[in-house]
Amino acid sequence: MVKNMSLSGIPRKVKMVVIIQVLNLTVYQIKNTFMSVHVFLNNQVRPIYQFRKYIS
């Protein structure tokens, strides 16, 4: 009885750990992509903005 409980409890813990790890990885990657997109947009927008300043 006790063995069955402990055996069935282990996979659940492992699943939870794996799910948490995957979530952490996806969040980390989303943050990285967001930051790179942010930097990219800044690099794109700034020259245009300065170009407009020169025109007006």
* Residue-wise pLDDT tens digits, 2-56: 565 556 667 888 889 999 999 999 999 999 999 999 888 888 877 777 777 777 6
Q: What is the pLDDT of residue 51?
A: 75
Q: What is the pLDDT of residue 3?
A: 60
Q: What is the pLDDT of residue 20?
A: 93
What's this model's pTM, rounded to 2 decimal places? 0.47
What ranges do the domains of the chain cover? 25-56
Q: What is the pLDDT of residue 53?
A: 78
Per-position b or e across 20-43, b if 16+ CB within 10 A of its CB: eeeeeeeeeeeeeeeeeeeeeeee
Q: What is the DSSP secondary structure assignment for residue 1, as one 8-state letter?
A: -
